[in-house]
Amino acid sequence: MNAKEIIARRVALEMQDGDVVNLGIGLPTMVANYLPEGISVILQSENGFVGLCSVGATPDDNLVNAGGQHCGIQLGGATFDSAMSFSLIRGGHVDVTVLGGLQVDQYGNLANWMVPGKMVPGMGGAMDLVTGAKKVIVAMEHCAKDGTAKILKECTLPLTGKGKVNVLVTELGVFRVAPEGLVLEEIAPGVEVENIVAKTEATLIISPDLKTMQNLT
């Protein structure tokens, strides 16, 4: 099982039946494929949908999600313009948003939209989502491609949102942002706490009830 699948499987456990969920571009779109039995969510997309099917399920050549992937729409789903879409987001009607991240820090700050000096397509709806959603989950690989830490004491890239992250899931563990700091609550099978600490710049609080990550089989 690769890192992205581990992350997506674990993030899926954060969903509650009936949640309105926005899944960001890339890894987050995989989450809908691993929802536990009995959990059904309503997928919302910034480009004007509620009730999207998961990626790969009965795609319609005439429909794409916010990431440009072909997708289907469930019976009872709806399409609308961007004004309505962002009214839902900004109005607090999205229960959960799952986004990728370039950096997250121990204060719950998120940087996920640009690296200075690099060409980027734009912010998209990320700033609106982290402000309007009731729960913000960041799903990202633990380290950058060059091995440097992405979980920092303080973000160095331009922020998407300040103090907005609730839960962070990587292939190594599950972290929750609490008033006292970043708490390591779950650890991937076969991974040692020392290994996570070594790959993390942020100061971690190790939960006394540290568990093994679930939904990985």
Which residues carry out catalysis?
Answer: 46
Largest Cα span, the chain: 50
* Residue 206 CA: distances (Å) to CA of 163, 174, 182, 197: 20, 11, 9, 10
Residue among 165, 156, 124, 158 at smallest CA distance from 11: 165
**H or E segment and range at residue 83:** helix 82-90
- Least Cα distance to 157 among 128, 117, 126, 125 occurs for 117
Give the angle 60-64-65 at the CA atoms, nearest 5°. 130
Structure tokens at 64: 């794409």
Nearest to 43 by CA among 32, 58, 56, 27: 32
